[in-house]
């Protein structure tokens, strides 16, 4: 091939490889620009929920760090922790139900005692 063809191909490749990402960088708005385009109601809701979302993200990252310290893969450690949490939740629900049933039975006995 001729040298001019190689030069054209290199120039075309460089323009695609460099110009494409540069165009995307130029066209993409920043977070502040996007936020300023929100209507006032969405801005208010976004500001109200920002702290909670940040806390959720922080706890998520903390849990991932804990899972990564074990020898097991992260998804396995995640499933084990999820199973433990689920079991604790079920136990708490059962205990609450038992306490509620005991309180209801005590009220029944009190009502029976007051009727006699």
CA–CA distance, 92 with 87 (Å, rounded to integer): 9
Is 62 inside any structural domain? no
Is residue 77 within 8 A of residue 70, CB to CB? The reply is yes
Question: 4 lies in a domain?
Answer: no
In a domain? residue 17: no
Residue 100 inside a domain? The answer is yes
In degrees rounded to 5, what are phi and psi of residue 107?
A: -65, -40
Tell me if 31 is assigned to some domain. no
pTM higher than 0.85: no
pLDDT in tens, the chain (116 residues): 789 999 999 999 999 999 999 999 999 999 889 888 888 898 888 889 999 999 999 999 998 898 888 888 888 888 888 888 888 888 888 888 999 999 999 888 888 888 76
**Residues 6+ away with beta carbon under 8 Å from 5:** none
Q: Does residue 90 sit within a domain?
A: yes
Distance CA 30, CA 44 (A): 19
- For residue 97, CA distances in Å to 38, 39, 115 come to 46, 46, 27
């Amino acid at each position: 091939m001729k040298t001019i063809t190689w030069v054209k191909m290199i120039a075309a490749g460089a323009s695609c490889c460099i110009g494409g990402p540069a165009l995307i960088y130029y066209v993409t708005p920043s977070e502040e620009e996007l936020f300023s385009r929100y209507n006032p109601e969405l801005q208010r809701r976004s500001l109200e929920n920002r702290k909670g979302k940040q806390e959720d993200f922080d706890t998520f990252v903390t849990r991932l760090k804990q899972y990564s310290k074990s020898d097991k893969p992260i998804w396995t450690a995640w499933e084990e922790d999820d199973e433990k949490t689920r079991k604790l939740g079920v136990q708490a629900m059962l205990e609450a139900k038992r306490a509620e049933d005991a309180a209801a039975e005590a009220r029944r006995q009190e009502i029976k005692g007051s009727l006699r």
